[in-house]
Amino acid sequence: PGAPTAFLEQLEQERHAYVGRRTGRRVMTASTRRQRRQERYANGQNQNGGELEDEAPCTNNSQTNIRLILGEALYILRPLFWAEVQVAHTDPNRAPQSDATIWNAWLLSLGLDIASLVSLHGIVTRQKRNTHTTAEWQRRRVRLMFYLLRSPVWDRLSSPTIRRANQILEYLPILGNFLSLYLQDWVYFWKEYRLEDC
């Protein structure tokens, strides 16, 4: 078959732009959206219908993209870094690591997560209408509490505190033993099964 004409290409692009029955909202593919944007820029209008400004929107958009890429890269690299530290700490073939090395790795891992959240914070506040982005950012913020279940803090602070709380709960009449077992099972569930997801 011969090359498609401009009319056939236009029909193909309109076919890919789905229009919802109930709301009438038009959902376009990336190519259709790109073509509309090029037409708008060719006519000298921005997204709001006004005149295009010089270069400020592009600069702002590129800064947003850089912050987004940086935040996501830090979020992806943090588990890889922590897995390497855990392997180095538990591998008998490697030289044993000092407590200071483990604490430094824990602090650096926490710093990577906080830097990722800070980098993404401006983007999330600008996109408040995007519920998925906001929910993911909130989930990552709550996940910072998992640092209390990680190795150096768990051994020195969290585990003794939970053991002491269990001993106190066992003195309560009737429900004390039940509450103690429940707290212990709940914390160990989060430590053993959910911590690996983070």
User: How much is the pTM?
Assistant: 0.57
User: pLDDT at position 89, please?
Assistant: 75
pLDDT of residue 142: 85
pLDDT in tens, 68-92: 889 889 999 988 888 888 787 777 7
Q: Which residue positions in the chain have pLDDT lower than 50?
A: 47-59
pLDDT at 192: 78
- What is the identity of the amino acid at 9? E
Task: Provide the pLDDT for residue 59.
Answer: 47
Q: What's the angle, vertex CA 61, arms to CA 142 and CA 75, rounded to 5? A: 30
Alpha helix positions (H), 91-130:
99-126
pLDDT at position 14: 64
Q: Which of 168, 170, 61, 183 is nearest to 122 (CA)?
A: 61
Dist. CA 173–CA 39, nearest whole Å: 75
Report the pLDDT value the prediction gives residue 114, as an integer from 0 to 100: 92
